[in-house]
Structure 1
Amino acid sequence: MATATAAITPDSANIPVTETKATPLNMTPAAIAKVREIMATQDPIPAGLRVGVVGGGCSGFQYSMAFENQSGMMDKVFTYDGLKVFIDATSLMYLNNCIVDYVETFEAAGFKFENPNVKSTCGCGSSFSV
């Protein structure tokens, strides 16, 4: 599970304490490595990756991934091994406890979302409902 860290200074002491908290979205090392590899080919290199949920598809919702140069006002920003990931507040509800992986097989390669919140998916596998 990926974690985010934040430095906190307690009122009673001037010693910084690091608090580790779980992130709502988990990215596997393979997914992080592939995103970094693709980002390195972009000009200019983006600030991070936006992961979201948008309306559409046969079942009602689809996952989206896109590079961004900066976060939006309503975004939550998470860092995974140095990779910044931006998620808007609405998408965050649907992505809670979701795992993003990068999978390569003989037939295909791509990002795979494992989402415990999904109640059903469509036949093509690219959309879902909650």
Structure 2
Amino acid sequence: MSTAWLDELRWTGDGLVPVIAQEASSGQVLMFAWMNREALALTVTEGYAVYWSRSRQKLWRKGEESGHRQKVMEIRLDCDEDVVLLKVEQAGGIACHTGRHHCFFRVLRDGAWVTVDPVLKDPEAIYR
């Protein structure tokens, strides 16, 4: 398959694109991450989410340590061609490294961030 479609994205100056992972079945936004060209191409080829870790400066396959992989059902590009949306099936029901279903577990209430979603599995038990 040609990779010319990658040229249609508006990559940041450091060669990245923001990516939102959304649970296909519920519509719940699970997480936000970054991809470079290689990560997006690998995601398409492998059928599972591959991201770019800015802190570690390397590719990471979602779930490579935890087993909480994201099977990609659909990939969408926004109207400005600068944000990717992945519709995924989340293995194990946990997308966040904190052991929660999704990464957006805090709500701003009365000027303070309040945790509103429970830890489903202790991160110490997830990551070795």
TM-score by length of 1: 0.30
Q: Which structure is larger by alpha-carbon Rg, 1 or 2?
A: 1
Higher RCO structure, 1 or 2 (CA under 8 Å, sep 6+) = 1
**Greater strand content:** 1
TM-score by length of 2: 0.31
